[in-house]
Each structure stands twice: as structure tokens, then as C-alpha cells.
Structure 1
Amino acid sequence: MIYLDHNATTPPAPEVIDEMVDAMQRAWANPSSTHEPGQTARRLLADARARVASFLGCQSAELVFTSGATEANHMAVLGALAHGRSAGGVRRRLVMSAVEHPGLLGLARRLETEGTPVDLIPVDVQGRLDLDAARRLIGDGRDVALLSVMGANNETGVLMPIAELVAMARAVGCWLHVDATQLVGKVALDFALSGVDLMSVSAHKLHGPKGIGALVVRKGVAVPALLSGRQERHRRGGTENTPGIAGFAAACDRAARTLDADLTRLRALGQVLENGLRLRLPEVQVYGDEAVRLPGTVCVRFGELDSERVLGRLERAGVVASSGAACTASGTQPSHVLLAMGESALQAKAGVRFSLGRDTTLAEIHRTLDIARHAIGPLLQTEADQPLARAA
């Protein structure tokens, strides 16, 4: 099997598994306990926290461990709204991009039914954020509780203009949250230098375990707790997932060692895949091809072939890819990302995402290209013949 769905999740690295097993065997006690077993767990937790913080470019005290990026995103949004209410209720509006992850947009829709004003920033045909529209929607910003934008789109890989958004947020005094789920382990992150107030990450996107992530909270940003409790400096209650945090730290260590080489290799492999698809299947449309994208993310459609049909053909031949976000990739609904980019409903159901990873090889890319030509080429020919058949 050739696995090209790394934006959905990544296989846990061997050292991640080893460190998690060690934590379960050696530091199984509750890190809040004052006895020696508890303090052993507490020391392991402190060490792992420092390693994750170092990788993300933040202080250990700014790191709040969560069950994943979804919880971190909820904590950022709901915390910002709670802070806005406590500050006199003036800041009660959310501004986010129209191409956010379905989990975050789902939260926004729910909040909107409960009376929270939500404005979505459009993107252009390349998937790039419309900065002029962002300025108009933010306005004077006096009522904005949070500006929230993903660092890179999970379907197209298009990077968002974080530096420009930081400047906009600073100008009006609102908080800026970045969902960095697709950035972590793929590009260098430095929270301290970014100017961002809140940042969400998830370990399983960089060969770490599932069920562990973090919200980075800039010092001085008072986000009310989503889950009450004394853990995580009273910001997130519940006994810490010590083995998961240990695995997260191991994944960060490995990513730090290989990041530069990985980026160079993934950028080259992604270009080989993109160029090869265009050469073998001229009907292919590459999304975001004129935008700055993550290395290794190639989102395409093959004519107007339904993505589920294409993916089924590919998987039977040994290639695993995706039609977008794993949690909404059933194929029954068109991609909201591609719709926002101006595609028709039919075209938005045709998007196929290839996302490469650390272990992807050049031989696998060449094999994928051969499989795509033989598996998808006949479907495209049939699609091209259909109008002639109808005319006859």
C-alpha cells in the first residue's frame, strides 16, 4: 500500500511508541500526587512539556495540553467569547475564514444559532485569503472577540497570510487564533516571533499519538478554562495524559531533527507528482497551483469525475488518498473549500487530495503516477465520450 493521506493522520514513529510505553511503565502515577510515584510522573510531564514548547517556539508556561486540536480550537473560540463577555460584553463577534476545518465551522454555525455574530472571510480561486475582505469584515474591531484562521488549508495546502492578519488584529486590539494543525511538523514554527495570541496543534499530524494536542496561549492572554480543574495552571482540568504527552514530545524531537531535510524532499516529491499527473492526464486540474502551499500537498480533480469513484480505483490498485478532511470525506457532500474557491457543486465533489509524508519515496510517487494513468485514464476517456454518445 502506498499511503498518501498524511494530512489526515500519520503513522506513529517507533521512538514515539517506545517513549509512550516507557511512560506507561515507569510514570503511570497521577502527576498531581505528592508521593514519589506521582512526582516521577510530574518530572516526566515537565520534561516533555519543555521539549514540546521548545519545538513550537513558546514558553512551557504558555502550553496547555488538550485532547487534540479540536478541543484546542474550541477552547480558543469559547474562551475568547467568554473573555469578551467578562469585559463588558462588547467583544462578541467571530471573524474566521470560509475554508476553516469543518470542526471549527461547525462550532461557528452552532454559536451563530445561539446569537453570536460570525463573519467568514472569502478566498479567491486559488484558495488565498482575501485580505481586503478581511479588513472590511474586521472593521474597527471593537466588537471582535476573535480572529481565527488556519495556518494552512488541510485540503489544498494553501498557506494563509498570518503576518498580515497579526497586523490587522494588533491594529484593532482583538485576539488572533491560528489553527496550526497542518503546519506542525511540516514548516518551522516559532510562536514567540509570530505575534499570534493562540495556536492549536495536534500530535498525530507529526507521527505522534492521537488523543493529545495543545493550545498555546501567549503570556498575558487570559483565556477562561473550558474544563474546570487545577491542572494545566487551572486552564484545563483533568488528569494529564502523561503517555500521550511523552509521545508528543518524542514526535517533536524527531521532527526537529529532520524538518529541513523533510521540507526539501517533500517539496521535490510533490512537484514530481504534480507534474507527472499533468503529463499523463491532461484533464487534471491542480488546486492552488499559483498559491504558496505546504510542501507535499497536491489537491486535484480529474475532469469532473466523482472523487469516490477515483479513490476507489486508486485504492484497489494500492494507493490510498483522500477527498479532503477525513471527518467529512464520505463523498456525499461537495467540499466547502472548493465551493469557496468558486467551483461548482459537481466539481467540488471531484477533489482528490494526495498528501505526502516523511516516509514517502520517489519510487512510490512514480508507481502512483503509473497507477493513476491506468486506473483513471479510462474513466476520463469514458467521461469525454459521453457527450458524443448523448449527441448521437
Structure 2
Amino acid sequence: MIYFDNSATTKPYKEVLESFIKVSEEFFGNPSSLHGIGAKTERLLSQARAQIAGLLGVDPEEITFTSGGTESNNLAIKGTAFAYKNRGRHLITTASEHASVRESMLQLEKHGFSVTFVPVDREGRVNPEDIRKSITDETILVSVMHVNNEVGTIQPIVEIGEIVRSYPKVLFHVDGVQGAGKIPLDLKKAGVDMYTFSAHKFHGLKGSGGLYVKKGVKLKPVLSGGSQERGQRGGTENPAGAVAMAKALRMSLDKQAQRFPVLLDIRKFLIEGLRELDCIIVNTPAEGAAPHIINFSVPGIKSETFVHALEEQDIYLSTTSACSSKKKSASKTLLAMGVTEAVAGSAVRISLSFENTMEEAVEVLKEIEKTVSRLGRVLS
């Protein structure tokens, strides 16, 4: 099996699974309980929080544990909107965000907020000046993803952060789900107020994630309940998931330091090979994109047909974002980039991890060429 769908989810490291089982067995108490078993579990949870904070370069009290990227994005966006609505009711995001950001914004429009969806260019990149021009006296939040989950475009987060910093009442949220553990970002230097991350994107477990919330930022909770997570997220904490996530992030950052050049070589090989095939259009930009995501189209062949054909060869790719792939609709990101419906409707995504090899890339490229030829003959 060759697994090239790591942006949908990654395979948990063996050590991560072992840590989850150990904590679940030996530290099963509720961290909020007053007795000794609960206290031991609470200390372990605090250690995991401190470890993740250290890896992200922030303070432990700035980390809020959640169930994953979607919840973190909802908390950042809706939590900001309802906490600061007396300051203003205008939000800014881009036309190529993840569904959890886009849908949160659309829901807030129904609650009396206004949203500006700033366009992206042909490479899926937003112009920071367009962000600046969109800010008004009513603006309270700018939300921009770090790495686009479909085409891999890296957004100019540092430049946007500099702009937002000059507007004291505007907060800056970054969806870092596809960047955490892969693409470095100094949250403090970039002026980020909130940063979303999700464990299963860097070899942790599904159902675990977090939100960095800068000191002084107040959010209205999305999940009402107890006072866990400093009142920002009600519900019994998941200590085993948090410990496993801390281990996964540390291991992923170690892999990043060791294998980043290898991943760049694999990306270069795949993009050059795909561009040599006349019937394929590479949608991922040549420059300014993450090394682990490659998006291409095979006009005339439906993306789901192509993905299933490769699955028959035990090769696993995807169509659009995993959160949207079953809807069988053209990629909103690609349409926002200005490509045609035909190109957007035939898009396929390769997404790598630091575990993948050049040997796998050679095999996948060979099978892609064969599959294009075979399906082209069948459909002609």
C-alpha cells in the first residue's frame, strides 16, 4: 500500500498509540476530580499542555484543548464574534478557507455580522493589501489559513500579521491545521492571536486538537458546560489524547528537521513528472507552497473515478478536502483561483508525510501515467 492522503489524516505513530493506551489505563481519573487519582491525571494533562506550548513557542496557559480543527476554528471565530460584538460586527476571511471557517462565517451572517471574503489570485494566495483595504471601524477579526488544505499554497501570514497589528481592536486567527508540525511559524513574531491545530494531521489521534489563545484575548465558549479549559471549553478533558498529541507534535517536528529536504525532493520529482504528462494540469503553485501537498487535474476524467482507479492499485490519493470529498462538487478553492469547472471537477490531491519515500513517488507517478492512459481510452 502507498498512502498519499496525509492531509486528510495521518497514520498515528506507534509510540503515540502506546502513550495513549498507557495514559488511558493508568491515569483514567477525571482531571476535575478532587481526589488523588484525579489530581494525578490533572498533573499529566498540565504536562502535556506545557509540552505543546513549548513546541509552539507560547505559554501553557495560552493552550486550550479541543476535539480538533473544526471545533478550534469555531471557537476562535464565533468566540471572538460574540465576545467582541460591542466593538464591531465585521469579520474578514478569504475565499479559499476550510469549510469550518467558511461555514462559521456564514452562520454569523445570520446573527447580524457582516463578512468580507477577500479573493485569492491564480495561485490561491491572498494579497495582504486586500486585507488592509477590507478593514473598517467595525472589523474585529481577520481569519486566514496558514497552508491551504487543497493546493498547498502558503499564505503571507507574517505580512498580514503586521497589518492587523496596526489595528488594536482587530484580532488575527490562523488556521494552522495543515501547517502545524510541517511548516514553521513563529506565532509571536507573526502577531497571531489565535492558532488552530489538530493532532491527526501530524500523526496523533483523531478527536484531539487545540487552540492557541494569546493572553488577554477573551472568547465566548462555543460549548457551554463546566469551567474546564479556563472556562473556554466546557466538557471533561481528554488527557490521553492530549499526551498523545504532545508526543506526536514533538516527533513530527523531529522528523521535519531530519527529512524536510527529502520531502522537497519528492515534491519536485512528482510535480516535474506530472507536468511532463500532456493531459495533466498542475494546480499547486511552483513557488510558495508547502512541500506535502500537490494538486493536479485530469480534464475529462472525474476526480472520484481517477481516485478509485488508483485505489485498485493499492494507491490512496484524494479529491478535494476530506471534509468535502463525498459531496462530489467542484473544489471551491480551485474555483476561487479562477480555474474552469472542468478543471476543478477533475482535481486530485496528493498529500505526503515525512514517512513517504522517493521509491513510493516513482511508483505512484508510473501508475498515474498508466491510469490516465487507460481511463482516457475507455472514455474516448
Indicate whether the TM-score tops 0.5: yes
Q: Does the CA-based 8 Å contact 2:298-2:343 persist in structure 1?
A: no
2:333 maps to a residue whose letter is V
Q: CA deviation at 1:327?
A: 1.4
Identical positions, percent: 35
Q: CA deviation at 1:14?
A: 0.6
Tell me the TM-score normalised to structure 2 length: 0.96
1:122 maps to a residue whose letter is P
1:166 to 161, 167, 178: 161
2:185 to 189, 192, 195: 189
- Give runs of aligned pairs for residues 96-111 of structure 1, distance below 5 A: 96-111=93-108
CA distance in 2, matches of 1:331, 1:284: 23
Q: Does the CA-based 8 Å contact 2:70-2:100 persist in structure 1?
A: yes
Indicate the SS of the match to 1:192.
coil
Q: Does the CA-based 8 Å contact 1:51-1:252 persist in structure 2?
A: no
CA distance in 2, matches of 1:189, 1:136: 25
Match of 1:49 in 2: 49
Match of 1:313 in 2: 309
Alignment deviations for residues 240-261 of structure 1 (CA, whole Å, 9 cap, x no partner): 1011111101102212322222
Alignment deviations for residues 269-294 of structure 1 (CA, whole Å, 9 cap, x no partner): 11111112223x22211113244011
| Greater helix content | 1
Please tell me whether residue 207 in structure 1 is matched to residue 203 in structure 2: yes
CA distance in 2, matches of 1:264, 1:55: 21
Indicate the SS of the match to 2:38.
helix
Range with greater deviation from structure 2 (370-379 or 177-186): 370-379
- Give runs of aligned pairs for residues 281-292 of structure 1, distance below 5 A: 281-292=277-288
Indicate the SS of the match to 1:64.
strand
CA distance in 1, matches of 2:219, 2:314: 46
CA distance in 1, matches of 2:231, 2:133: 37
1:314 maps to a residue whose letter is L
2:344 maps to a residue whose letter is A
CA distance in 1, matches of 2:203, 2:284: 26
Q: Which runs of 4+ in 1 moved over 6 A?
A: none
What is the count of residue pairs matched by the alignment?
378
Structure 2: which 5+ residue stretches go unaligned?
Answer: none
Match of 2:15 in 1: 15
Match of 2:149 in 1: 154
Range with greater deviation from structure 2 (62-71 or 74-83): 74-83
Match of 2:298 in 1: 302
CA distance in 2, matches of 1:287, 1:350: 11
Tell me the TM-score normalised to structure 1 length: 0.93
1:179 maps to a residue whose letter is D
2:110 to 108, 113, 120: 113
- Give runs of aligned pairs for residues 23-172 of structure 1, distance below 5 A: 23-85=23-85, 89-138=86-135, 141-172=136-167
Q: CA deviation at 1:133?
A: 2.4
Provide the aligned C-alpha RMSD in A: 1.5
CA distance in 2, matches of 1:381, 1:124: 34
Please tell me whether residue 369 in structure 1 is matched to residue 368 in structure 2: no
2:262 to 261, 265, 271: 265
Alignment deviations for residues 19-70 of structure 1 (CA, whole Å, 9 cap, x no partner): 1111011110011122111111011111111111111111101000011111
CA distance in 2, matches of 1:24, 1:302: 46
CA distance in 2, matches of 1:254, 1:306: 37
